[in-house]
C-alpha cells in the first residue's frame, strides 16, 4: 500500500467508469424477454415451414460482403467494421446475414446434397451508422433464405412465412409492399430509360437525388422530397419494360398472395438498397417506429450464389429487424417463480440451501435469501420476488427445524414436513 500516492480529492483516472460503446445496447430483463419471445416464436414457425437453423460466423472476409452486397453501396463503402487479420487480409463484422449463409452454402456444397435448401438464422449484425430510433450499430436480424427454387410458389411461401411470423408475434398494422425489380435482361433497359428521363429534369431534383442519379438511380423513386414533384408523375414505370418471364413470375406470386388473403400494396417505387436483388421484392413497414419504417425486407437474388463462385442456384430471402419488431411488441412478463425461501435462523442456513436445491432439482423455480435477515426485510424480499409461495424455515422451541409454507395469493400458512416439501409444492400446481 505504501506505493500508493496519498489520496487527495482528485479523482484518479482509474476510477472513471468505462462507458458503453455508442450504438451498442445492454438488454436487461424486459428487453431480453422480448428477444427471447421473438427467437422462440421464430424457431417454432420457421421450422414448421421446413426451414432449418444455421449459425454462421459474425466475421467474414471483407471481400465476401463487397462482392455480395455491392462495392458501391454505403454499407460496404463506409459502414462496415473492418480489421486486418494477422496476414493483413481484411475481415469485417457482418453487416447482414445473407452473404455468410451463401458462403456456407457454397462451402458445404449443399446444392449437391439437396435440390432445395431452406435456412434461417438470427443474431447480431454490425453497421457503423449514426444511431437513432430503431437503428443501432450492433443490431439483430432474423434472416431467412430459400435456395434452389425459382418457382413463384417459393416466393409466395417466403412471404407467407413472414406474414405468419409477425402475426404470431401479435403484430398488426403492418403494411406489406411489393414490387417487381426484373432481371439482368430487362432491368438495365428500364434503368437506362429512367436515367435518361431524370437527367432531363436533373436541375429540379434535390441534392441527394442528383447524387443518386449517378450512384443508384432507382433510389430516386422513393425519395421523400422529390416524390411529389410534377414530373415524377410522368416517370417511366418498370411495368412497361419488364420482360415476359419476369412479368409472368411476378403475376403468379401476387396472384398466390391474393388467393390466400395476404394483402399487399403494389409499390412501383419500392427498391432495395443491396445490389443482389431481382424480380420479387417486398418490404414490411410500420409507421409507428419513427423514421426507420422498414421492419423487414427481402426479395429474390437469382444470380448471387454464382457471383460468389458457387453454382447457378436461384434464391429468395428476407431479413427482419429485431430491434424494430421490439419497438412494436408489448412488454412481456417474466415467468412467475414457485417459491422464495426465507431462513429465519442461522442454524437453518444449510438446511435452507439443501431444500432450495432439492426443490430446484425437482423442477420447481425459486430463490433463497442468502443470509439470515430480519423477518421484515426477508418478507419484503419474498414479496418483491413475486413468488407464489414463501417458505419460512426456522427452529421451534425444541430446536427442530420446521418449514412453513405461505400461499402469497390466499394468505394462508401451513407447516409442512421437510420430506413433504417437494410433493406439496408440486401438487399445488
Partner RNA sequence: GCGGAAGUGGCUCAGUUGGCAGAGCAUCUGAUUGUGGCUCAGAGGGCCGAGAGUUCAAAUCUCUCCUUUCGCCCCA
Query: Applying CB under 7 A, which residues contact RNA?
Result: 9-11, 19-23, 73-75, 79, 96, 127, 129-136, 139, 141, 208, 212, 216, 219, 223-225, 272-274, 283, 290-298, 319-321, 323-324, 373-377, 379-380, 382-384, 390, 392, 404, 406, 408, 411, 413
Tell the smallest beta-carbon distance from residue 112 to RNA (Å).
29
- Distance, CA of 193 to CA of 187 (rounded, Å): 10
Tell the smallest beta-carbon distance from residue 330 to RNA (Å).
18
Residues 321 and 347: beta-carbon distance below 8 Å: no
Tell the smallest beta-carbon distance from residue 22 to RNA (Å).
3
Tell the smallest beta-carbon distance from residue 94 to RNA (Å).
12
- For 40, half-sphere exposure in the C-beta direction (CA atoms, 13 angstrom radius) is 7
Tell the smallest beta-carbon distance from residue 364 to RNA (Å).
18
**Neighbouring-strand partners of residue 404:** 392, 415
Strands 82-84 and 366-368, bridge-based pairing: unpaired
Nearer Cβ to RNA, position 250 or 282? 282
Tell the smallest beta-carbon distance from residue 327 to RNA (Å).
9
Helix (H) or strand (E) holding 107: helix 98-107
424 — phi, psi (to 5°)?
Answer: -65, -50
**Neighbouring-strand partners of residue 90:** 84
Tell the smallest beta-carbon distance from residue 383 to RNA (Å).
3
Nearer Cβ to RNA, position 111 or 198? 198
C-alpha to C-alpha distances, 4 to 1, 7, 8, nearest whole angstrom? 6, 8, 11
Nearer Cβ to RNA, position 118 or 324? 324
Tell the smallest beta-carbon distance from residue 329 to RNA (Å).
14
What region, left, alpha or beta, does residue 369 occupy, with left being phi > 0 and alpha being psi -120 to 50 degrees?
beta
- Distance, CA of 221 to CA of 227 (rounded, Å): 7
- Distance, CA of 151 to CA of 161 (rounded, Å): 16
Tell the smallest beta-carbon distance from residue 222 to RNA (Å).
8
Residues 355 and 304: beta-carbon distance below 8 Å: no
C-alpha to C-alpha distances, 372 to 167, 349, 387, nearest whole angstrom? 48, 8, 19
CB contact burial 198-226 (16+ within 10 A = b; e otherwise):
beebeeebeeebeebbeebbbbbbbbeeb
Nearer Cβ to RNA, position 182 or 394? 394
Nearer Cβ to RNA, position 244 or 374? 374
Strands 138-147 and 117-126, bridge-based pairing: antiparallel
Residues 297 and 319: beta-carbon distance below 8 Å: yes
Nearer Cβ to RNA, position 141 or 254? 141
Amino acid at each position: 500500500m505504501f506505493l500508493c500516492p496519498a489520496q487527495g480529492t482528485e479523482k484518479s483516472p482509474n476510477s472513471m467508469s468505462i462507458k458503453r460503446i455508442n450504438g451498442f445496447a445492454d438488454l436487461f430483463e424486459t428487453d431480453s424477454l422480448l428477444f427471447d419471445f421473438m427467437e422462440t416464436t421464430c424457431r417454432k414457425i420457421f421450422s414448421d415451414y421446413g426451414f432449418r437453423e444455421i449459425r454462421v460466423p459474425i466475421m467474414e472476409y471483407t471481400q465476401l460482403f463487397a462482392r455480395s452486397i455491392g462495392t458501391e453501396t454505403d454499407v460496404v463503402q463506409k459502414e462496415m467494421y473492418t480489421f486486418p487479420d494477422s496476414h493483413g487480409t481484411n475481415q469485417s463484422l457482418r453487416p447482414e446475414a445473407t452473404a455468410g449463409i451463401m458462403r456456407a452454402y457454397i462451402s458445404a456444397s449443399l446444392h449437391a446434397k439437396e435440390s432445395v435448401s431452406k435456412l434461417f438464422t438470427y443474431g447480431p449484425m454490425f453497421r457503423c451508422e449514426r444511431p437513432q430510433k430503431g437503428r443501432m450499430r450492433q443490431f439483430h436480424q432474423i434472416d431467412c433464405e430459400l435456395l434452389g427454387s425459382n418457382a413463384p410458389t417459393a416466393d409466395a411461401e417466403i412471404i407467407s412465412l413472414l406474414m405468419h411470423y409477425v402475426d404470431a408475434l401479435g403484430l398488426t398494422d403492418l403494411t406489406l409492399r411489393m414490387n417487381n425489380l426484373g432481371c439482368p435482361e430487362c432491368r438495365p433497359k428500364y434503368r437506362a430509360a429512367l436515367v435518361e428521363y431524370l437527367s432531363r429534369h436533373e436541375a429540379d431534383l434535390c441534392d441527394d437525388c442528383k447524387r443518386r442519379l449517378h450512384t443508384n438511380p432507382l433510389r430516386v423513386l422513393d425519395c421523400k422530397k422529390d416524390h411529389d414533384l410534377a414530373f415524377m408523375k410522368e416517370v417511366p414505370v418498370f411495368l412497361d419494360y419488364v420482360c415476359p418471364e419476369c412479368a409472368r413470375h411476378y403475376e403468379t406470386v401476387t396472384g398466390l398472395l391474393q388467393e390466400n388473403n395476404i394483402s399487399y400494396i403494389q409499390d412501383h417505387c419500392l427498391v432495395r438498397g443491396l445490389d443482389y436483388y431481382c424480380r420479387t421484392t417486398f418490404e414490411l413497414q410500420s409507421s409507428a417506429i419513427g423514421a426507420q419504417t422498414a421492419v423487414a425486407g427481402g426479395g429474390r437474388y437469382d444470380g448471387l450464389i454464382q457471383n460468389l463462385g458457387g453454382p447457378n442456384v436461384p434464391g429468395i430471402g428476407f431479413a427482419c429487424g429485431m430491434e424494430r419488431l421490439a419497438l412494436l411488441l408489448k412488454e412481456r412478463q417474466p415467468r412467475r417463480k414457485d417459491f422464495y425461501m426465507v431462513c429465519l435462523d442461522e442454524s437453518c442456513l444449510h438446511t435452507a440451501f439443501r431444500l432450495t436445491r432439492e426443490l430446484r432439482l425437482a423442477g420447481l423455480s425459486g430463490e433463497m435469501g442468502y443470509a439470515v435477515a430480519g423477518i421484515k426485510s426477508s418478507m419484503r424480499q419474498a414479496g418483491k420476488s413475486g413468488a407464489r409461495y414463501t417458505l419460512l424455515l426456522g427452529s421451534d422451541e425444541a430446536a427442530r427445524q420446521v418449514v412453513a409454507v405461505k400461499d402469497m395469493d390466499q394468505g394462508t400458512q401451513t407447516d409442512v414436513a421437510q420430506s413433504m416439501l417437494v410433493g406439496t409444492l408440486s401438487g399445488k400446481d
